[in-house]
Amino acid sequence: MSSSLIPPESLARVGEILAGPVTVRIDRRESQRYAYAVGDLNPVYFDDGSAKAAGYRTLTIPPLFITHALVTPEPASKLRTDGLYEDSTSVVLKVARMMFGGEEWDFLEPVCVDDEITGTTRLLDLDQKEGKKGPFVRLVRETTFTNQDGQVVARSRQIGIAR
Amino acid sequence: MTSYPNMATVEVGDELPVMHKRAEEAELFLYSAASFNPHRIHYDRAYANYEGHEDIVVHGPLQGSWLTQFITDWAGPNARLLSVQWQNRASAFVAEELRFSGSVISVDQVNSSVELEIYERKEDGSVLMPAKATVKLEQS
Protein backbone atom coordinates (compact mmCIF):
# COMPACT_ATOMS: atom_id res chain seq x y z
CA MET A 1 0.00 0.00 0.00
CA SER A 2 1.59 3.22 -1.13
CA SER A 3 1.05 6.46 0.72
CA SER A 4 -1.41 9.01 -0.60
CA LEU A 5 -0.24 11.36 -3.33
CA ILE A 6 -3.26 13.55 -2.64
CA PRO A 7 -3.04 15.80 0.44
CA PRO A 8 -6.39 16.00 2.31
CA GLU A 9 -6.63 19.75 1.67
CA SER A 10 -6.48 19.05 -2.10
CA LEU A 11 -9.10 16.31 -1.90
CA ALA A 12 -11.36 18.77 -0.07
CA ARG A 13 -11.27 21.02 -3.15
CA VAL A 14 -13.24 18.60 -5.38
CA GLY A 15 -16.22 20.56 -6.73
CA GLU A 16 -14.49 23.91 -6.21
CA ILE A 17 -14.26 26.53 -8.98
CA LEU A 18 -10.65 26.67 -10.21
CA ALA A 19 -11.08 29.36 -12.87
CA GLY A 20 -13.71 31.82 -13.96
CA PRO A 21 -16.35 32.69 -14.58
CA VAL A 22 -14.72 34.53 -17.49
CA THR A 23 -16.83 36.13 -20.23
CA VAL A 24 -15.45 36.84 -23.68
CA ARG A 25 -16.93 37.93 -27.01
CA ILE A 26 -15.86 35.46 -29.72
CA ASP A 27 -13.63 37.39 -32.11
CA ARG A 28 -13.67 36.58 -35.82
CA ARG A 29 -9.99 37.29 -36.43
CA GLU A 30 -8.81 35.33 -33.39
CA SER A 31 -10.93 32.37 -34.46
CA GLN A 32 -9.55 32.56 -37.99
CA ARG A 33 -5.95 32.85 -36.75
CA TYR A 34 -6.57 29.71 -34.74
CA ALA A 35 -8.02 27.91 -37.78
CA TYR A 36 -4.99 28.93 -39.88
CA ALA A 37 -2.61 27.73 -37.17
CA VAL A 38 -4.37 24.34 -37.14
CA GLY A 39 -4.52 24.21 -40.95
CA ASP A 40 -8.30 23.77 -40.83
CA LEU A 41 -9.60 26.09 -43.56
CA ASN A 42 -13.23 25.00 -43.39
CA PRO A 43 -15.36 27.65 -45.20
CA VAL A 44 -17.84 27.75 -42.28
CA TYR A 45 -15.08 29.55 -40.29
CA PHE A 46 -14.27 32.07 -43.06
CA ASP A 47 -17.21 32.67 -45.37
CA ASP A 48 -20.49 33.97 -44.01
CA GLY A 49 -22.47 32.56 -46.97
CA SER A 50 -21.02 29.08 -46.45
CA ALA A 51 -21.75 29.24 -42.72
CA LYS A 52 -25.37 30.31 -43.32
CA ALA A 53 -25.84 27.67 -46.05
CA ALA A 54 -24.72 25.11 -43.45
CA GLY A 55 -27.38 26.29 -40.99
CA TYR A 56 -25.33 28.62 -38.76
CA ARG A 57 -26.48 32.15 -37.80
CA THR A 58 -23.13 33.49 -38.99
CA LEU A 59 -19.49 32.28 -39.01
CA THR A 60 -18.91 29.42 -36.59
CA ILE A 61 -15.55 28.59 -34.97
CA PRO A 62 -13.18 25.60 -34.80
CA PRO A 63 -14.77 23.55 -31.97
CA LEU A 64 -11.83 23.62 -29.55
CA PHE A 65 -11.05 27.31 -30.14
CA ILE A 66 -13.60 28.18 -27.45
CA THR A 67 -11.05 27.18 -24.77
CA HIS A 68 -8.37 29.44 -26.23
CA ALA A 69 -10.79 32.33 -26.76
CA LEU A 70 -11.21 32.43 -22.97
CA VAL A 71 -7.50 32.57 -22.11
CA THR A 72 -6.85 35.64 -19.96
CA PRO A 73 -3.53 37.35 -20.75
CA GLU A 74 -1.14 37.86 -17.83
CA PRO A 75 1.97 40.01 -17.41
CA ALA A 76 5.30 38.42 -18.42
CA SER A 77 6.50 38.87 -14.83
CA LYS A 78 4.22 35.95 -13.92
CA LEU A 79 5.92 33.51 -16.32
CA ARG A 80 7.78 30.60 -14.70
CA THR A 81 10.97 29.09 -16.13
CA ASP A 82 8.92 26.47 -18.01
CA GLY A 83 7.08 29.29 -19.80
CA LEU A 84 3.76 28.68 -18.05
CA TYR A 85 2.11 31.29 -15.87
CA GLU A 86 2.16 30.98 -12.11
CA ASP A 87 -1.18 29.46 -11.16
CA SER A 88 -2.33 30.16 -7.64
CA THR A 89 -5.34 27.86 -8.11
CA SER A 90 -3.35 24.75 -9.16
CA VAL A 91 -4.15 21.67 -7.09
CA VAL A 92 -1.26 20.63 -4.83
CA LEU A 93 -0.22 16.97 -5.25
CA LYS A 94 2.82 14.99 -4.02
CA VAL A 95 3.98 14.22 -7.55
CA ALA A 96 6.91 15.13 -9.81
CA ARG A 97 5.04 15.73 -13.00
CA MET A 98 1.60 16.42 -14.48
CA MET A 99 0.90 15.08 -17.97
CA PHE A 100 -1.86 15.83 -20.44
CA GLY A 101 -4.02 12.68 -20.40
CA GLY A 102 -6.75 13.60 -22.84
CA GLU A 103 -10.01 15.47 -23.15
CA GLU A 104 -13.73 14.78 -23.48
CA TRP A 105 -16.04 17.29 -25.16
CA ASP A 106 -19.79 17.62 -25.53
CA PHE A 107 -21.00 20.18 -28.05
CA LEU A 108 -24.59 21.12 -27.21
CA GLU A 109 -25.32 24.32 -29.17
CA PRO A 110 -23.56 26.05 -32.08
CA VAL A 111 -21.05 28.78 -31.20
CA CYS A 112 -20.72 31.70 -33.60
CA VAL A 113 -18.57 34.79 -33.98
CA ASP A 114 -19.72 37.65 -31.68
CA ASP A 115 -21.35 35.24 -29.18
CA GLU A 116 -20.65 36.18 -25.54
CA ILE A 117 -19.27 33.02 -23.98
CA THR A 118 -18.77 32.47 -20.26
CA GLY A 119 -16.48 29.69 -19.09
CA THR A 120 -16.26 28.29 -15.57
CA THR A 121 -13.82 25.54 -14.62
CA ARG A 122 -14.31 23.22 -11.66
CA LEU A 123 -12.23 20.48 -10.10
CA LEU A 124 -14.54 17.60 -11.05
CA ASP A 125 -12.58 14.63 -9.75
CA LEU A 126 -9.34 13.70 -8.04
CA ASP A 127 -8.53 10.04 -7.72
CA GLN A 128 -5.44 7.97 -6.89
CA LYS A 129 -4.98 4.78 -8.92
CA GLU A 130 -2.45 1.95 -9.08
CA GLY A 131 -0.75 1.60 -12.45
CA LYS A 132 1.95 -0.74 -13.81
CA LYS A 133 4.53 1.98 -13.13
CA GLY A 134 3.22 2.65 -9.61
CA PRO A 135 0.60 4.95 -8.18
CA PHE A 136 -0.70 7.93 -10.12
CA VAL A 137 -3.33 10.61 -9.70
CA ARG A 138 -6.09 11.22 -12.24
CA LEU A 139 -7.22 14.84 -12.06
CA VAL A 140 -10.30 15.94 -14.00
CA ARG A 141 -11.17 19.60 -14.57
CA GLU A 142 -14.52 20.38 -16.17
CA THR A 143 -15.22 23.62 -18.00
CA THR A 144 -18.81 24.61 -18.74
CA PHE A 145 -19.34 27.15 -21.52
CA THR A 146 -22.58 29.14 -21.68
CA ASN A 147 -23.69 31.76 -24.20
CA GLN A 148 -25.41 35.17 -23.93
CA ASP A 149 -28.82 33.44 -23.78
CA GLY A 150 -27.80 31.29 -20.81
CA GLN A 151 -27.61 28.11 -22.91
CA VAL A 152 -24.84 25.65 -22.12
CA VAL A 153 -23.06 25.41 -25.48
CA ALA A 154 -20.25 23.00 -24.55
CA ARG A 155 -18.61 21.08 -21.74
CA SER A 156 -15.03 19.90 -21.68
CA ARG A 157 -13.32 17.58 -19.26
CA GLN A 158 -9.52 17.85 -19.24
CA ILE A 159 -7.82 14.81 -17.80
CA GLY A 160 -4.43 15.18 -16.16
CA ILE A 161 -2.25 12.26 -15.14
CA ALA A 162 0.22 13.03 -12.35
CA ARG A 163 2.90 10.75 -10.92
CA MET B 1 -19.11 18.98 -55.75
CA THR B 2 -17.83 16.97 -52.83
CA SER B 3 -20.31 14.42 -51.55
CA TYR B 4 -20.65 13.91 -47.83
CA PRO B 5 -22.11 10.99 -45.88
CA ASN B 6 -25.74 11.07 -44.78
CA MET B 7 -27.99 8.75 -42.78
CA ALA B 8 -29.26 7.05 -45.95
CA THR B 9 -25.79 6.15 -47.20
CA VAL B 10 -23.61 5.72 -44.10
CA GLU B 11 -22.76 2.19 -42.95
CA VAL B 12 -20.88 0.58 -40.10
CA GLY B 13 -17.32 -0.03 -41.31
CA ASP B 14 -17.17 3.04 -43.58
CA GLU B 15 -13.67 4.46 -43.42
CA LEU B 16 -12.81 8.14 -43.20
CA PRO B 17 -10.24 9.38 -45.74
CA VAL B 18 -6.78 9.21 -44.13
CA MET B 19 -5.35 12.62 -43.11
CA HIS B 20 -1.63 13.29 -42.80
CA LYS B 21 -0.20 16.05 -40.60
CA ARG B 22 3.35 17.22 -39.96
CA ALA B 23 4.13 20.36 -38.01
CA GLU B 24 7.46 22.15 -38.41
CA GLU B 25 8.83 24.68 -35.90
CA ALA B 26 7.06 27.63 -37.56
CA GLU B 27 3.70 25.87 -37.44
CA LEU B 28 4.11 24.99 -33.77
CA PHE B 29 5.16 28.56 -33.05
CA LEU B 30 2.06 29.84 -34.85
CA TYR B 31 -0.17 27.52 -32.79
CA SER B 32 1.47 28.70 -29.55
CA ALA B 33 0.76 32.28 -30.61
CA ALA B 34 -2.82 31.65 -31.78
CA SER B 35 -3.66 29.79 -28.56
CA PHE B 36 -1.69 32.21 -26.32
CA ASN B 37 0.34 29.30 -24.93
CA PRO B 38 3.82 30.28 -23.73
CA HIS B 39 4.85 26.73 -22.60
CA ARG B 40 8.55 26.42 -23.43
CA ILE B 41 8.46 22.73 -24.49
CA HIS B 42 6.67 23.82 -27.68
CA TYR B 43 9.47 26.10 -29.02
CA ASP B 44 12.70 25.62 -27.04
CA ARG B 45 14.45 22.36 -27.99
CA ALA B 46 17.07 22.57 -25.22
CA TYR B 47 14.37 23.13 -22.62
CA ALA B 48 12.23 20.29 -24.02
CA ASN B 49 15.28 17.99 -23.76
CA TYR B 50 15.90 19.21 -20.19
CA GLU B 51 12.34 18.15 -19.31
CA GLY B 52 13.03 14.70 -20.79
CA HIS B 53 11.36 15.10 -24.19
CA GLU B 54 13.33 13.91 -27.20
CA ASP B 55 12.44 17.03 -29.21
CA ILE B 56 10.04 20.00 -29.37
CA VAL B 57 6.60 18.72 -28.35
CA VAL B 58 3.45 19.08 -30.49
CA HIS B 59 0.67 20.67 -28.40
CA GLY B 60 -2.05 18.28 -27.18
CA PRO B 61 -4.87 20.68 -28.13
CA LEU B 62 -3.37 21.11 -31.64
CA GLN B 63 -3.71 17.36 -32.11
CA GLY B 64 -7.24 17.67 -30.68
CA SER B 65 -8.07 20.31 -33.30
CA TRP B 66 -6.57 18.14 -36.06
CA LEU B 67 -8.89 15.42 -34.81
CA THR B 68 -11.98 17.64 -35.13
CA GLN B 69 -10.78 18.73 -38.59
CA PHE B 70 -10.41 15.08 -39.62
CA ILE B 71 -14.03 14.48 -38.57
CA THR B 72 -15.62 17.62 -40.01
CA ASP B 73 -13.74 17.29 -43.34
CA TRP B 74 -15.38 13.86 -43.72
CA ALA B 75 -18.81 14.77 -42.33
CA GLY B 76 -19.26 18.02 -44.28
CA PRO B 77 -20.54 21.48 -43.29
CA ASN B 78 -24.16 20.44 -42.62
CA ALA B 79 -23.19 17.74 -40.12
CA ARG B 80 -22.77 18.59 -36.42
CA LEU B 81 -20.05 17.26 -34.15
CA LEU B 82 -21.87 16.26 -30.93
CA SER B 83 -19.02 14.88 -28.85
CA VAL B 84 -15.40 13.88 -29.06
CA GLN B 85 -13.01 12.30 -26.59
CA TRP B 86 -9.39 11.30 -26.86
CA GLN B 87 -6.50 10.00 -24.79
CA ASN B 88 -2.95 11.28 -25.17
CA ARG B 89 -0.82 8.12 -24.84
CA ALA B 90 2.51 9.53 -25.98
CA SER B 91 4.00 12.78 -27.22
CA ALA B 92 4.26 13.80 -30.86
CA PHE B 93 7.34 15.78 -31.86
CA VAL B 94 8.18 18.50 -34.36
CA ALA B 95 8.39 17.34 -38.03
CA GLU B 96 7.03 13.87 -37.28
CA GLU B 97 4.74 12.34 -39.89
CA LEU B 98 1.39 11.81 -38.20
CA ARG B 99 -1.55 9.92 -39.64
CA PHE B 100 -5.25 10.05 -38.73
CA SER B 101 -7.51 7.13 -39.67
CA GLY B 102 -10.96 6.12 -38.52
CA SER B 103 -14.19 4.33 -39.24
CA VAL B 104 -17.87 4.27 -38.41
CA ILE B 105 -18.51 1.83 -35.55
CA SER B 106 -22.25 2.36 -35.04
CA VAL B 107 -25.19 4.03 -36.74
CA ASP B 108 -28.10 5.43 -34.69
CA GLN B 109 -31.05 6.02 -37.03
CA VAL B 110 -33.26 7.31 -34.18
CA ASN B 111 -30.92 10.20 -33.35
CA SER B 112 -29.50 10.58 -36.90
CA SER B 113 -26.00 10.13 -35.56
CA VAL B 114 -22.98 7.91 -36.03
CA GLU B 115 -20.19 6.92 -33.70
CA LEU B 116 -16.62 7.01 -34.99
CA GLU B 117 -13.46 5.31 -33.76
CA ILE B 118 -10.30 7.20 -34.70
CA TYR B 119 -6.56 6.76 -34.24
CA GLU B 120 -3.70 9.17 -34.61
CA ARG B 121 -0.53 7.20 -35.27
CA LYS B 122 3.18 7.85 -35.71
CA GLU B 123 5.03 6.64 -38.82
CA ASP B 124 5.99 3.37 -37.04
CA GLY B 125 2.29 2.65 -36.50
CA SER B 126 2.27 3.26 -32.73
CA VAL B 127 -0.89 4.94 -31.46
CA LEU B 128 -0.48 8.47 -30.08
CA MET B 129 -4.12 9.25 -29.62
CA PRO B 130 -7.10 6.87 -29.64
CA ALA B 131 -10.38 8.76 -29.96
CA LYS B 132 -14.11 8.42 -30.32
CA ALA B 133 -16.66 10.89 -31.64
CA THR B 134 -20.39 11.22 -32.26
CA VAL B 135 -21.59 13.15 -35.30
CA LYS B 136 -25.11 14.09 -36.36
CA LEU B 137 -25.55 13.64 -40.12
CA GLU B 138 -28.21 14.87 -42.52
CA GLN B 139 -31.08 12.48 -43.31
CA SER B 140 -30.32 12.38 -47.03
Tell me the one-letter amino acid at A52: K
Tell me whether the omega of the peptide bond preceding residue A135 falls within 30 degrees of 0, making it cis: no
A160 interface with B at CB cutoff 8 Å: no
Q: Is-contact B76 B117, C-beta < 8 A?
A: no
Which CATH architecture group holds A8-162? Roll (3.10)
**Domain assignments of chain A as residue spans, ordered by start:** 8-162
Smallest Cβ–Cβ distance between B36 and the set A38, A53, A68 belongs to: A68
Q: Which of residues 67-126 of B touch A (CB under 8 A)?
A: 68-69, 72-73, 77-78, 80-88
* B34: chain A residues, CB-CB within 8 Å: 30, 33-34, 36-37, 68
Interface of A with B in 25-44 (CB under 8 A): 30, 33-34, 36-40, 42-44
For B66-117, the pLDDT digits (tens) are 999 999 999 999 999 999 999 999 999 999 999 999 999 999 999 999 999 9
Inter-chain touch A62–B85, beta carbons under 8 Å: no
Task: Give A74→chain B minimum CA distance, Å.
Answer: 10
Q: What DSSP assignment string belongs to A63-96?
A: TTHHHHHTPPP--GGGB-TTSPBP-TTPPP-S-S
Mean pLDDT value across chain B: 96
> Considering the domain B59-136 in this protein, what is its CATH number?
3.10.129.10
pLDDT in tens, B17-72: 999 999 999 999 999 999 999 999 999 999 999 999 999 999 999 999 999 999 99
What is the per-residue pLDDT for A2?
52
ipTM of the complex: 0.96
pLDDT in tens, chain A (163 residues): 457 899 999 999 999 999 989 999 999 999 999 999 999 999 999 999 999 999 999 999 999 999 999 988 888 888 888 888 887 678 888 888 888 899 999 999 999 999 999 999 999 999 999 988 899 999 999 999 999 999 999 999 999 998 8
- Collapsing DSSP to helix, strand or coil, A35 comes out as helix
